[in-house]
């Protein structure tokens, strides 16, 4: 198609002309008058004056050409259910859902929180919200009541959409009790809760509040609910993500910029074509699920697979069987999932006809070289494309863009800076730009952030500026909080976070949140949580805690009992996803003389590495205790 370096350079140097062209990939009710308003850095407004609708671009506009082509393919290996919705059928379902939401009083700008398993109704719910101009906030189904309550309180939704239960590995996971508890914990109460009853778990509806989806849907079978045209800058959704404090941040996304960014990514990054099939194995609770299970493929006129189940059930061939059956062209998963598959029979990778598959994209955490090699060889040399991004950015920052110019992948690297991203490596101490090859720096992005990136933190502009834009000395630049190097060919290598965020099986967690949860146990005085390297999950959380009353902790059984109790606290408050792999009990934590926790030293020791310079440490015996605990 062209030369990637020129394409990228143009996106930065001739920014407005570049994005004006991309804006033509989507439908506008009113064309934008200004491409980018960056008069108040770091707040960027994209496609100002334009009016559009995300649901229109994902669904309605395809009706003329592909009404009878598949749009949403729901597959559950948990409930043995498979159903394909054509664009026409998806359109009808979304309108039914939108009509129900209207009945419940939802109007433009209202928030709707979605706490649902991976079922088709979750997709209808998201699309119905943006159809009405309501702002959805999907909360990952693996989060428990405390995490959910924090998000309910921050988003203050008028309506919550949920389900009786999900299912994992054949076991029913009830959602309703967690939701009820979260609503009880939250100061904000939703007016209504719309319940999709899958008949997996019994529940008692809350009188006057809970509404049954099937009953309401039956009243709206012929619903015609037009799209509400919204300003390009109107928020489409918020999605909470972890940072260094205990309070998650609501990443706020616009409408027009996001629609254009995803539309452009389909041909340039993913090479997804209208009429093709996209299979993203993420969860709708994560940003990858928002962008590449729901919006991206649909905006691109593709069929998208929404999969409820494990990658190894009924066997490790299930995903490849789906690739064969639905002629998947583009697949998107996470390194963790591939490491899980690595333990299965490799013959399962070649048992099915994968001729339709163009490439496998992997993101969310570092892709280690052995895993990349294993899957690349197992799939007979299909392109394996590591791409790097964040909840904040909404679409990849680094990748190979084979749709622009074919380029080889390098194992261990997510590739180059994508068009629109003015990526720079900087020295964290001086703020100086590092232009030489293989110099380690913080990966930053010069403003304006391209379309589709976060507009702000929901309800907290100040936190947005302070968190992301004020960490590099002397410069207003966006920090990704990732260390990286760039080689002589412009390929980046990500070296880990600069902050206390950890990445467990692609799930981003703040150690502070886990520490706060553990500290709520009545017998815990103080705790440090660090991320420790793990061959399967990339990282796992490990806790080192000081008990208030140590008298009963003299034997291993008592320590195990308290460890179990602490894990239970995290399970019930945050969800099993945040549960530490181990909780060790110590009598002191390694700190500097000024009282700052030496997390890096704890982490190094927990990983069996040299802790480095310890001259500022107050009490060396504290670190020694950790060494001994790890040795067991
Ligand atoms: P999340 O916001 O949950 O998507 O997490 C974003 C973080 O995950 C990034 O800041 C990185 O630390 C990490 N990450 C995402 N993709 C990659 C990748 N391809 N390689 C290395 N780290 C990644």
Give the closest residue (by CA) to ligand 1 atom 18: 388
Give residue 269 CA to ligand 1 midpoint distance, Å.
Answer: 17
What are the two backbone dihedrals, phi and then psi, of residue 237, each rounded to the nearest 5 degrees?
Answer: -160, 165
Give the closest residue (by CA) to ligand 1 atom 21: 366
Whether residue 329 is contained in a domain is answered as: no
* Cβ atoms < 10 Å from Cβ of 139: 25
Whether residue 54 is contained in a domain is answered as: yes
Whether residue 358 is contained in a domain is answered as: no
Structural domain range at position 616? 505-631
Separation between Cα atoms, residue 554 and residue 342, nearest integer Å: 41
What does the block give as tokens for 166? 């999900």
User: Which residue stretches of 383-506 are H helix?
Assistant: 461-469
Instruction: For residue 497, give the ligand 1 atom closest to its CA.
Output: 12
Give residue 285 CA to ligand 1 midpoint distance, Å.
Answer: 16
Q: Among residues 447, 480, 513, which one ends one of the domains?
A: 480
Residues 518, 445, single domain; the answer is: no
- 554-583 pLDDT, tens digit per residue, is 888 999 999 999 999 999 999 999 999 999
Residues 462, 538, single domain; the answer is: no
Residue 176 contacts residue 201 (beta carbons within 8 Å) = yes
CATH (domain of 538): 3.30.300.30
Pocket of ligand 1, beta carbon within 6 A: 241, 287, 363-367, 386-391, 414, 480, 482, 494, 497, 503, 508
Separation between Cα atoms, residue 406 and residue 579, nearest integer Å: 42
249, 392, 494, best to mutate for ligand 1 pocket (most atoms within 8 Å of CB): 494
Q: Among residues 446, 480, 514, which one ends one of the domains?
A: 480
pLDDT at 612 over 90: no
Residue 312 contacts residue 306 (beta carbons within 8 Å) = no
Give residue 392 CA to ligand 1 midpoint distance, Å.
Answer: 10
* Cβ atoms < 10 Å from Cβ of 69: 16
Mean pLDDT confidence for 85-93: 99
Q: What pLDDT is recorded for position 564? A: 97
Residue 518 contacts residue 511 (beta carbons within 8 Å) = no
367, 390, 496, best to mutate for ligand 1 pocket (most atoms within 8 Å of CB): 390
Mean pLDDT confidence for 49-63: 99
Give residue 482 CA to ligand 1 midpoint distance, Å.
Answer: 8
Give the closest residue (by CA) to ligand 1 atom 4: 390
Residues 532, 471, single domain; the answer is: no
- 249-303 pLDDT, tens digit per residue, is 999 999 999 999 999 999 999 999 999 999 999 999 999 999 999 999 999 999 9
Q: Which residue has the tokens 């933190």?
A: 457
Whether residue 269 is contained in a domain is answered as: yes
Measured in whole angstroms, the distance separating CA 79 from the mean position of its chain's CA atoms is 25
Residues 560, 620, single domain; the answer is: yes
Mean pLDDT confidence for 379-393: 96
Going by C-alpha positions, the residue among 245, 244, 289, 287 that lies closest to residue 481 is: 244
Give residue 508 CA to ligand 1 midpoint distance, Å.
Answer: 8
Residues 474, 576, single domain; the answer is: no
Q: What pLDDT is recorded for position 1? A: 62
Residues 465, 514, single domain; the answer is: no
Separation between Cα atoms, residue 296 and residue 304, nearest integer Å: 9
The domain tally of the chain equals 2
- Tell me the Ramachandran region of residue 133: left when phi exceeds 0, alpha when psi lies from -120 to 50, beta otherwise: left
Separation between Cα atoms, residue 66 and residue 59, nearest integer Å: 10
Bond before 266 cis per omega within 30 degrees: no
Express as a percent the part of the chain with pLDDT over 70.
100
Give the closest residue (by CA) to ligand 1 atom 1: 390
Instruction: For residue 387, give the ligand 1 atom closest to its CA.
Output: 19
Residues 453, 521, single domain; the answer is: no
Separation between Cα atoms, residue 605 and residue 584, nearest integer Å: 13
Residues 575, 460, single domain; the answer is: no
Residues 435, 532, single domain; the answer is: no
Give residue 442 CA to ligand 1 midpoint distance, Å.
Answer: 14
Whether residue 429 is contained in a domain is answered as: yes
Separation between Cα atoms, residue 433 and residue 442, nearest integer Å: 9
- For every residue of 212-247, DSSP letters joined together read EHHHHHHHTTT---PPPPEETTS--EEEEE--SSSS
pLDDT at 238 over 70: yes
Instruction: For residue 496, give the ligand 1 atom closest to its CA.
Output: 12
Residue 303 contacts residue 71 (beta carbons within 8 Å) = yes
CATH (domain of 213): 3.40.50.12780
pLDDT at 228 over 70: yes
pLDDT at 247 over 70: yes
- For every residue of 86-108, DSSP letters joined together read EHHHHHHHHHHHHHHHHHTT--T
Instruction: For residue 386, give the ligand 1 atom closest to its CA.
Output: 19
Element at 174 (helix H, strand E): strand 171-174
364, 396, 467, best to mutate for ligand 1 pocket (most atoms within 8 Å of CB): 364
Separation between Cα atoms, residue 148 and residue 65, nearest integer Å: 40
Write down the mean pLDDT value for the chain: 95
Q: Which residue has the tokens 């705790």?
A: 527
Give residue 41 CA to ligand 1 midpoint distance, Å.
Answer: 25
β-sheet bridge partners, residue 361? 332, 385
292, 365, 393, 507, best to mutate for ligand 1 pocket (most atoms within 8 Å of CB): 365
User: In terms of residues, how long is the chain?
Assistant: 632
Whether residue 176 is contained in a domain is answered as: yes
Q: Among residues 480, 496, 524, which one ends one of the domains?
A: 480
- 389-417 pLDDT, tens digit per residue, is 999 999 999 999 999 999 999 989 999 99
Give the closest residue (by CA) to ligand 1 atom 20: 366
Considering all CA atoms of the chain, what is the largest pairwise distance in Å, rounded to the nearest integer?
A: 73
Give residue 52 CA to ligand 1 midpoint distance, Å.
Answer: 30
Going by C-alpha positions, the residue among 304, 312, 356, 368 that lies closest to residue 337 is: 312
Residues 562, 466, single domain; the answer is: no
Residues 154, 278, single domain; the answer is: yes
Going 32 to 38 to 39 to 43, the CA torsion angle's sign is positive
Beta strand pairing call for 111-115 and 135-138: parallel
Whether residue 350 is contained in a domain is answered as: no
- 308-329 pLDDT, tens digit per residue, is 999 999 999 999 999 999 999 9
Residues 446, 515, single domain; the answer is: no
Residue 398 contacts residue 374 (beta carbons within 8 Å) = no
Whether residue 12 is contained in a domain is answered as: yes
Mean pLDDT confidence for 188-192: 98
Give residue 382 CA to ligand 1 midpoint distance, Å.
Answer: 23
Give residue 621 CA to ligand 1 midpoint distance, Å.
Answer: 35
Measured in whole angstroms, the distance separating CA 125 from the mean position of its chain's CA atoms is 18
Distant-in-sequence, close-in-space partners of 215: CB < 8 Å, separation ≥ 6: none
Going 272 to 278 to 284 to 289, the CA torsion angle's sign is negative
Separation between Cα atoms, residue 264 and residue 23, nearest integer Å: 8
End-to-end CA distance of the chain: 58
Give residue 388 CA to ligand 1 midpoint distance, Å.
Answer: 6
Give residue 498 CA to ligand 1 midpoint distance, Å.
Answer: 12
């Amino acid at each position: 198609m062209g030369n990637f370096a020129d394409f990228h350079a143009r996106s930065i140097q001739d920014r407005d002309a570049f994005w004006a062209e991309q804006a033509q990939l989507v439908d506008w009710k009113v064309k934008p008058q200004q491409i980018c308003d960056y008069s108040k850095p770091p707040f960027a407004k994209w496609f100002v004056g334009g009016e559009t609708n995300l649901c229109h671009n994902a669904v309605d506009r395809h009706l003329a050409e592909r009404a009878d082509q598949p749009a949403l393919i729901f597959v559950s290996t948990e409930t043995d259910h498979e159903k394909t919705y054509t664009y026409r059928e998806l359109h009808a379902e979304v309108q039914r859902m939108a009509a129900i939401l209207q009945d419940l009083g939802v109007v433009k700008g209202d928030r709707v929180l979605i706490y649902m398993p991976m079922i088709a109704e979750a997709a209808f719910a998201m699309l119905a919200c943006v159809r009405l101009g309501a702002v959805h906030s999907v909360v990952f189904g693996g989060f428990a009541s405390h995490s959910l309550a924090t998000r309910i309180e921050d988003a203050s939704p008028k309506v919550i959409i949920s389900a009786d239960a999900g299912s994992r590995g054949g076991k029913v996971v009830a959602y309703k009790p967690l939701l009820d508890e979260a609503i009880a914990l939250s100061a904000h109460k939703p007016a209504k809760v719309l319940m999709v009853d899958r008949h997996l778990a019994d529940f008692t509806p809350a009188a006057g509040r809970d509404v049954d989806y099937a009953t309401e849907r039956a009243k709206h079978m012929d619903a015609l609910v037009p799209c509400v045209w919204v300003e390009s800058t109107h928020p489409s959704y918020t999605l909470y993500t972890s940072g260094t404090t205990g309070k998650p941040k609501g990443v706020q996304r616009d409408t027009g910029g996001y629609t254009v960014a995803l539309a452009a990514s389909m041909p340039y990054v993913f090479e997804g074509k209208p009429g093709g099939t996209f299979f993203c194995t993420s969860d709708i609770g994560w940003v990858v699920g928002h962008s590449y299970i729901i919006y991206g493929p649909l905006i691109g006129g593709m069929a998208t697979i929404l999969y409820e189940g494990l990658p190894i059930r009924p066997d490790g061939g299930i995903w490849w069987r789906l690739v064969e059956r639905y002629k998947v062209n583009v697949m998107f998963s996470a390194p963790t999932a591939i490491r899980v598959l690595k333990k299965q029979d490799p013959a399962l990778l070649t048992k099915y006809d994968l001729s339709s598959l163009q490439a496998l994209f992997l993101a969310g955490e570092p892709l280690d070289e052995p895993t990349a090699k294993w899957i690349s060889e197992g799939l007979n040399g299909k392109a394996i494309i590591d791409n790097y991004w964040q909840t904040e950015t909404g679409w990849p920052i680094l990748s190979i863009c084979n749709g622009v110019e074919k380029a080889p992948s390098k194992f261990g690297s997510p590739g180059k800076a994508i068009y629109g991203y003015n990526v720079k490596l900087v020295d964290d101490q001086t703020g100086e730009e590092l232009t030489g090859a293989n110099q380690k720096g913080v990966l930053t992005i010069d403003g304006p952030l391209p379309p589709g990136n976060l507009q702000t933190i929901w309800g907290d502009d100040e936190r947005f500026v302070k968190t992301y834009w004020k960490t590099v000395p002397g410069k207003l630049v966006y920090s990704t909080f990732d260390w990286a190097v760039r080689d002589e060919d412009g390929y980046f290598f990500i070296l880990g976070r600069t902050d206390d965020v950890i990445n467990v099986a692609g799930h981003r967690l703040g150690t502070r949140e886990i520490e706060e949860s553990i500290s709520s146990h009545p017998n815990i005085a103080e705790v440090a949580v660090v991320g420790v390297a793990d061959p399967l999950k990339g990282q796992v959380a490990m806790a080192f805690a000081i008990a208030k009353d140590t008298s009963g902790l003299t034997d291993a059984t008592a320590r195990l009992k308290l460890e179990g109790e602490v894990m239970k606290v995290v399970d019930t408050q945050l969800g099993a996803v945040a549960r530490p792999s181990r909780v060790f009990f110590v009598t002191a934590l390694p700190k500097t003389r000024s009282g700052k926790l030496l997390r890096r030293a704890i982490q190094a020791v927990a990983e069996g590495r040299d802790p480095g310079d310890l001259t500022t440490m107050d009490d060396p015996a504290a670190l020694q205790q950790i060494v001994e605990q790890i040795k067991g």
